[in-house]
Amino acid sequence: MADDKHLEDTGFEEEELEAKAYDSRLMKRLLKFAAKYWYLFLSALVLLFASTAADLARPYLMGITIDEFIKKGDISSLNKIGVYFLLLVLGAFIFNLLQIYVLSYAGQSIIFNIRQLLFSHMQKMPLSFFDKNPIGRLVTRVTNDTETLNDMYTNVLVTLLKDFIILAGTVVIMFRLDVKLTLISLAVMPVVIVLTVFFRIRIRKVYRNVRTSLAKINSVISENISGMRIIQLFGREKENFARFNKAGEDYHKAVMSQVVTFGLFRPVIEMLASLTMALLLWFSGLDMLKGTLQFGIVYAFVNYIGMLFQPINDLAEKYNILQSSMAASERIFLILDTPIEDDSGTVRLTDAVRGEIEFKNVWFAYSGEDWVLRDVSFRVPAGETVAIVGATGAGKTSIISLLSRLYEIQKGDILIDGINIRDISKDDLRRITGVVLQDVFLFSGKLKDNIRLNETGISDEKIIEAASYVNADSFISKLPQGYDTEVMERGATFSSGQRQLLAFARALAFDPAILVLDEATSNIDTETELLIQDALGKLTKNRTTVVIAHRLSTIQHADNIIVLHKGKVRESGNHQELLAKRGMYYSLYLLQYQKDDGVPV
């Protein structure tokens, strides 16, 4: 990481937001994504009404069959009813199947669009956003949270309406069959309502704890996998496992609390359903003994009570999905509402960029007024090489970040060919700048694709030419599959020196007007450094080059050397001029070379 990078914020305040079970503002935004597929939801709604009608008709039809045809021995009518019942069952099956397919297709299409939009938006975010958000949190947004929304679109948005239709339709039919039995069946509903309100209050707190704990686990896992090399080198496996174990225990407790809450709600509802059934059988049995009630009506009521309590039982799951969706959507929209990189520049650069760089009274801080650079001014003529040296934390790497507008300055101006970089399109600005970082990142995929970075305009011949220029072809050609070799994650199978050579080839393949070497030779062995030094002369010829290095041997031939200290330019000049001044550069030179010369430091 950059030597002057500010500390990351790894808090989980975003997870701990107490989401509402239903937020009309969020729901309106979610429905906008569904609007494109209105015809699918309309089709699902029609299928829903058809399947619900078929479900509601079956008990009613069976009750009539028992009282009107079975008791009278009407075989002809019984055969017709049997056919009608079979058609109802088949119709309900087909309608339900089509409804599930249509809703699933619509839900997956919506989630695909949201996920694409979210990933595209994140790619346009400034680096400061990624400094403050752990990788695990962002991965959770694109994967888990979007999938949670899928559950809402497929299992709540339309099916919740089905539950209300079943409830209303069941009550209406029950009243039509027998008012007294209906009132007896609804006697426990006040208790059900009270339990549902209590459950809603309790599950909000429980769900909040579950999401917070899960986010912490994801962050711990992601951080540990990314830093596994350091963990193993320093033998910190036990300590890191203890940290993960603590996060795992917190998540386990939160999930068990959720399980207990659901575990209590469902059995209580089922107990109330059984109590309702007992009351129904008691009173209906007495009426049947008196001869005032037919058995077919009792049979229908027994079925309708099951249909009455099933949506209430499902309410717990749907409420959980709805609350999960509200919380997930709030976190997703929090990212989508975060402003992307400011790119107000309208100036388009031509291929005739000279590459002159000028910093004019530049002040920069990552946060507040904790200045990393203080009133920095210098000029790099086109085609020349400037080296920036200084102790760790002096602000060297920040200059590179500002030159590419990865961060924005607070005061001053940065010019390229006399044009303020704020006025230049970021795409153009980064197109003319080739950067070789100290920590080289290689993507999974073919080696040649890591050099061209999916830029179709760079041919295989140009890739080979760039690799040969920096002497990378010497080791690539020895690989079994050459430039088609599959690169493992982060290039783990390549040495540091090989990764640096590939980074050089990558920068050269894009033929930038400005070349930036951010401590590019610090991780390279002597033999590999000789290969690179051989290429550097050709690379920097007639190309503006900015070099950051701790090893002064690599920058002695630079046209100008700038010494930074605590964010300020303290000295500048070529190697011999700075030595003659016997200032800070001279002190750095002595620290690196006196010991080798046998002179005490």
443-463 pLDDT tens trace: 888 888 888 888 888 888 888
Whether 552 is covered by a domain: the verdict is no
Dist. CA 255–CA 442, nearest whole Å:
38
> What's the domain count of the chain?
2
Q: 507 pLDDT band (50/70/90 cuts)?
A: confident
Using alpha carbons only, give the angle 513, 516, 520 rounded to the nearest 5 degrees. 140
> What value does the mean pLDDT take over residues 540-561?
83
Dist. CA 398–CA 406, nearest whole Å:
9
Kindly state whether residues 327 and 458 are assigned to the same domain. Answer: no
Among the ranges 76-80, 416-420, 546-550, which has the highest mean pLDDT value? 416-420
Dist. CA 361–CA 342, nearest whole Å:
21
Instruction: Kindly list the distances between the CA atom of residue 367 and the CA atoms of 8, 107, 122, 208, in Å, as whole numbers in the listed order.
Output: 11, 41, 21, 30
CATH number at residue 213: 1.20.1560.10
Whether 212 is covered by a domain: the verdict is yes
pLDDT at 407 over 90: no
Kindly state whether residues 324 and 462 are assigned to the same domain. Answer: no
Instruction: Kindly list the distances between the CA atom of residue 395 and the CA atoms of 145, 472, 503, 558, in Å, as whole numbers in the listed order.
Output: 38, 31, 23, 19
Using alpha carbons only, give the angle 278, 282, 284 rounded to the nearest 5 degrees. 115
Q: What type of residue sits at position 472?
A: A
For residue 465, the enclosing domain spans 440-511
Q: Considering 280, 311, 336, which residue would you say is the last residue of a domain?
A: 336
Q: 20 pLDDT band (50/70/90 cuts)?
A: low
> What value does the mean pLDDT take over residues 398-423?
89
Whether 19 is covered by a domain: the verdict is no
Kindly state whether residues 312 and 446 are assigned to the same domain. Answer: no
Whether 567 is covered by a domain: the verdict is no
Return the pLDDT at 523. Answer: 55
Distance from the first to the final alpha carbon of the chain: 30
Return the pLDDT at 1. Answer: 38
Whether 565 is covered by a domain: the verdict is no
63-102 pLDDT tens trace: 778 777 776 677 777 788 888 888 888 988 999 899 889 9
Instruction: Kindly list the distances between the CA atom of residue 396 and the CA atoms of 98, 105, 205, 565, in Å, as whole numbers in the listed order.
Output: 62, 52, 47, 9
Q: Considering 336, 364, 382, which residue would you say is the last residue of a domain?
A: 336
Strand pairing category for 411-416 and 419-420? antiparallel
> What value does the mean pLDDT take over residues 559-585?
90
> What value does the mean pLDDT take over residues 37-48?
90
Whether 49 is covered by a domain: the verdict is yes
pLDDT at 497 over 50: yes
Return the pLDDT at 113. Answer: 93
Return the pLDDT at 386. Answer: 92
Q: Considering 481, 511, 541, which residue would you say is the last residue of a domain?
A: 511
| Global pTM value | 0.71
Dist. CA 258–CA 279, nearest whole Å:
32
241-253 pLDDT tens trace: 888 899 889 899 9
Q: 535 pLDDT band (50/70/90 cuts)?
A: low
Whether 481 is covered by a domain: the verdict is yes
Among the ranges 29-38, 151-160, 345-354, which has the highest mean pLDDT value? 29-38
Whether 4 is covered by a domain: the verdict is no
